[in-house]
């Protein structure tokens, strides 16, 4: 009997050890770091405790640039990708032939290495002395003038960034929305058809409410994901995001931790906690809004 009392804990032990060392302890530690002023990683000493790290980070122009970039990415990519995914899923659900082929194609970006494909995007958008690049070729076709999307004006870089982010996040959203749409009970549609309801009205009064839980799930995870944008940026603009003016909050955290400007875990910790606070606030707001507007059938 005594032996079996310990057995469950024995099964849990490996998971506990790993989670303890690499999740629970770091979670506490990161708050400690963020309040240790002048922490030196080499000698592991610090001057004192206080909110100085937060003040430093909040005044750092690089951080403010990163916050601006991140917010722009969030504000642009979340609505656009969700709307586009909805459009595509509705289209997918209304056809029979080729549906599976399209679904498989649309999912492809999910399984590709973002760093690798980002390089292709960079080449498609880049303008070098040797070539204007493919995208500029199309722009010129339509009579525009070529732009350097990778080293050029801020809005052009932001455009590429958002375009690539949307390309990367679409597979997940299309997949979720397609299965949500397919699971709406056809009885509702048939009833509406008998009543002669218009297609638009069917969509806004039946389809949207029925899939609203999934839609809100996608919006919430979309917000969280977009706030953590980082490797897509690296894929397009290279590791020195500050030089490109395209850094994100997560990028700022990692740059502070490691790399050419690194070695400041305290600043990194403060920035990470600020990010966490932002994400938590927005998620709570999202949840409140969704509770008011979601229909659970």
Q: From the CB of 65, what's the least distance to other proteins, in Å?
A: 18
The torsion angles phi and psi of 147, rounded to 5 degrees, stand at -130, 145
Calpha distance 257→255 (Å, rounded): 5
36 DSSP β-pair partners: 49
Shorter beta-carbon distance to other proteins: residue 42 or 187 = 42
Calpha distance 231→235 (Å, rounded): 6
Calpha distance 41→196 (Å, rounded): 71
Shorter beta-carbon distance to other proteins: residue 33 or 149 = 33
Shorter beta-carbon distance to other proteins: residue 132 or 148 = 132
Calpha distance 169→210 (Å, rounded): 23
Q: From the CB of 276, what's the least distance to other proteins, in Å?
A: 6
Contacts of 31 (CB under 8 A, 6+ apart): 269, 273
Q: From the CB of 78, what's the least distance to other proteins, in Å?
A: 14
Shorter beta-carbon distance to other proteins: residue 98 or 289 = 98
User: Using an 8 Å Cβ cutoff, are 135 and 149 in contact?
Assistant: yes
Q: From the CB of 144, what's the least distance to other proteins, in Å?
A: 15
Q: How far is CA 93 from CA 60, 127, 166, in A?
A: 48, 39, 21
Q: From the CB of 262, what's the least distance to other proteins, in Å?
A: 9
40 DSSP β-pair partners: 45
Calpha distance 54→115 (Å, rounded): 31
Tokens of 81: 């990708």
Shorter beta-carbon distance to other proteins: residue 4 or 48 = 4
Shorter beta-carbon distance to other proteins: residue 75 or 182 = 182
Rg (CA), the chain: 24
Q: From the CB of 147, what's the least distance to other proteins, in Å?
A: 16
Q: From the CB of 270, what's the least distance to other proteins, in Å?
A: 10
Shorter beta-carbon distance to other proteins: residue 100 or 185 = 100
Whats the size of the chain, residue-wise?
297
User: Using an 8 Å Cβ cutoff, are 188 and 255 in contact?
Assistant: no
Shorter beta-carbon distance to other proteins: residue 168 or 246 = 168
Q: Could you give the maximum distance between any two Cα atoms of the chain, in Å?
A: 83
Q: From the CB of 68, what's the least distance to other proteins, in Å?
A: 18
Q: Which of 275, 74, 279, 101 is nearest to 169 (CA)?
A: 74
């Amino acid at each position: 009997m005594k032996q079996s009392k310990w057995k469950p804990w024995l099964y849990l032990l490996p998971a506990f050890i790993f989670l303890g060392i690499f999740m629970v302890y770091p979670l506490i530690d990161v708050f400690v770091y963020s309040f240790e002023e002048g922490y030196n990683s080499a000698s592991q000493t610090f001057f004192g405790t206080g909110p100085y790290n937060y003040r430093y980070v909040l005044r750092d122009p690089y951080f403010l640039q990163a916050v601006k970039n991140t917010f722009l990415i969030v504000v642009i990519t979340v609505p656009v990708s969700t709307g586009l995914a909805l459009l595509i899923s509705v289209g997918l659900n209304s056809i029979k032939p080729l549906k599976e082929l399209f679904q498989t194609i649309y999912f492809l970006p999910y399984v590709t290495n973002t760093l690798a494909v980002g390089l292709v995007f960079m080449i498609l958008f880049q303008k070098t002395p040797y070539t204007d690049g493919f995208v500029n070729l199309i722009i010129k076709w339509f009579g525009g003038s070529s732009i350097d999307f990778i080293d050029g004006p801020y809005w052009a870089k932001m455009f590429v960034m958002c375009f690539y982010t949307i390309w990367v996040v679409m597979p997940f959203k299309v997949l979720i929305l397609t299965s949500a749409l397919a699971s709406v009970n056809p009885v509702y549609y048939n009833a509406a058809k008998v009543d002669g309801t218009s297609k638009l009205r069917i969509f806004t009064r039946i389809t949207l409410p029925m899939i609203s839980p999934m839609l809100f799930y996608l919006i919430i995870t979309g917000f969280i994901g977009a706030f953590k944008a980082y490797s897509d940026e690296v894929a397009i603009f290279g590791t020195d995001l500050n030089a490109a003016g395209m850094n994100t909050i997560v990028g700022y955290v990692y740059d502070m931790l490691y790399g050419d400007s690194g070695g400041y875990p305290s600043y990194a910790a403060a920035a990470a906690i600020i990010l966490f606070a932002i994400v938590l606030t927005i998620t709570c707001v999202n949840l409140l809004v969704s509770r008011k507007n979601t229909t659970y059938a």
